Structure 1
Amino acid sequence: MFDGQNVFFDSDATYGKSWGLKEYLEYTNTQMIVVAPACNQNPDNGRLKEYTPYPFKDKTFGNIKSLGKITMEWFVNELKPTIDNTFRTLSDRNNTFIAGSSMGGLMSLYAILEYNHIFSRAAALSPSIWTGPQKLAKMIKNANINPDTVVYMDYGTEELPRYKHMIQKFAMISSVLMKKNIRLNARIVPNGTHSEASWEKQIPFFVETLLYEK
């Protein structure tokens, strides 16, 4: 998972509220190892650069270069092997998933598309598709996807107005994913906001999708 500082503990979370994923996994006795590195917190848009698969321009953040490939190469070639060599994992593609929210959600889509030989399922909560919807759509169309690929994707009703035509962009990306025969679970979350508190409420939905029939 991306943005690891926000995944487990409120004391580590950027805004003082985490996903509370540790409590959920323990309460439900879910047999899953979750590896969640923190993001780059350099004030010079470090997180945006680390978590974008393509460069983009924004009136608020300026020109953002892409370090997403470098990030994923580290995930795949350094982080995953270390975890597999240290813990009792099921290391095959069928049991390897990726997840994140916001820019981390965008990276989860990138990972499942470009590293489909590593990841079989992905959860993208409130993915930042506003950064380049046409670039993302092209990436999906060009991706070599295994037919058993599963994607969970959602967006909250309260965050849709943040960007122009967001509902249309979400629908377009959903459609392109489905045309690639990806097994997509797409949701519009009632009263959902762009926050850890809202994403925490979606844990049962995306975890059940990732573990469906497993």
Structure 2
Amino acid sequence: MADLDPVRIPTAAPSVVTSASTPRTPRRRWAGVDVTVWLPPGCFDSGRRYPVLYFHDGHNLWDAETAFGGVDWGLDEALSDLAAAGTPVIAVGTACHPTERAREYTPHRSTWPGFAELVGDDGTGSGADHLRFWTDELKPQIDRLFPTSSAAGDTAACGSSAGGVMALYAWTQRPDLFGLAGFSPALHLCGDGVADDVRTALAAGAAGRLHVSVGGQESEDEASRRAYVDRAKELVALLDERPGVALRYCYDSEAPHHESAWRALLPEALRFLLRRD
């Protein structure tokens, strides 16, 4: 795997890492994964080390043209607001595989009708491999190239739907690296897998800040709508009032399973994850 080349970026304004050959395109191919890095103003010259937010589905974060359904998360606006309010951070987005997202973002065997068929191989995904890419290849290079804080309490794994499952999976498997996680996981896709991971992580003393959200209109199918909410409540019951765990749970009865809902949720969720009590 080739290294990502160091890139010097103008420091007067927030910026994204750009390819030297296409300086207006905020994307780099890295180990077959499309990676975008957002940097706060002045980060190279400030002498500071910054918290880092790692996002799944990076193509949905800040460009409506690449986002699913033509609605992006508005992450660049949210990060600019955070920086203006005195909480500058670095954000890293990794786009999913163009045709195998379900497989890539499934860390446990799925038996959920419709989704398991997308995963293939009897519902067994490659989420563990994807997490290893983050921990063993992506994060070390981000820490090498940019002024990051590598502390777990300054490092978040983020995502929605299956990407939210992977964010929680990152926290349960590597709480030494990812002490923050959110936002809107489709927990039913992996059966009891995520809940079992959480129990194991808590028993081993995992700590952190977790933001869990769910909408009441995540599916047109009644059984699926119930599954989204019931699994989220199960997770909250496991995490609530656990020593060392700060939890924020958000339920919106009208929220759909859509980028527009996560865009609305994002600013508050980031403020919670980055808060220092």
Could you tell me the TM-score, scaled by structure 1's length? 0.90
**Pair 1:171-2:233 in alignment:** yes
More off after superposition, 135-144 vs 112-121 = 135-144
Quick check: 1:97–1:119 contact (8 Å CA) kept in 2? yes
**Pair 1:194-2:252 in alignment:** no
Q: How does 1:41-190 map to 2 (within 5 A)?
A: 41-42=98-99, 46-61=100-115, 62=117, 63-125=122-184, 127-143=185-201, 144-147=204-207, 149-159=208-218, 161=222, 163=224, 165-166=226-227, 167-178=229-240, 180-181=242-243, 182-190=245-253
1:27 aligned residue (81, 86, 94): 81
Classify the secondary structure of the residue corresponding to 2:97: coil
Per-residue displacement from partner, 1:30-74 (whole Å, max 9, x unpaired)?
4111100100112xxx11111011011232242322211110111
Cα distance in 1 for partners of 2:106, 2:241 equals 23
Instruction: State the Cα distance separating 1:162 from its structure 2 match.
Output: 6.0
Cα distance in 2 for partners of 1:140, 1:212 equals 22
Instruction: State the Cα distance separating 1:178 from its structure 2 match.
Output: 2.5
Instruction: State the Cα distance separating 1:83 from its structure 2 match.
Output: 0.7
Query: Which structure has the larger Rg?
Result: 2
Question: Gaps spanning 5+ residues in structure 2: where?
Answer: 1-54
Quick check: 2:181–2:211 contact (8 Å CA) kept in 1? yes
Cα distance in 1 for partners of 2:79, 2:65 equals 18
Classify the secondary structure of the residue corresponding to 2:93: coil
Per-residue displacement from partner, 1:141-187 (whole Å, max 9, x unpaired)?
1113433x110000012226461632322211211122754321111
| Structure 2 letter corresponding to 1:121 | L
Instruction: State the Cα distance separating 1:23 from its structure 2 match.
Output: 1.6
Match of 2:29 in 1: none
Q: 1:184 to 1:33 in 2, by over 3 A?
A: same
Q: Going by fraction, where is strand more abundant, 1 or 2?
A: 2
Q: 1:154 to 1:186 in 2, by over 3 A?
A: same
| Structure 2 letter corresponding to 1:32 | V
Question: In percent, how many aligned pairs have the same letter?
Answer: 27
| Structure 1 letter corresponding to 2:160 | S
Could you tell me the TM-score, scaled by structure 2's length? 0.71
Cα distance in 2 for partners of 1:93, 1:21 equals 21
Match of 2:56 in 1: 2
CA RMSD of aligned residues (A): 1.8
Classify the secondary structure of the residue corresponding to 1:36: strand
Cα distance in 2 for partners of 1:132, 1:93 equals 25
| Structure 2 letter corresponding to 1:165 | R
Aligned residues between the structures: 209
Question: Gaps spanning 5+ residues in structure 1: where?
Answer: none
Runs of 4+ in structure 1 deviating by more than 4 angstroms, as ranges, are none
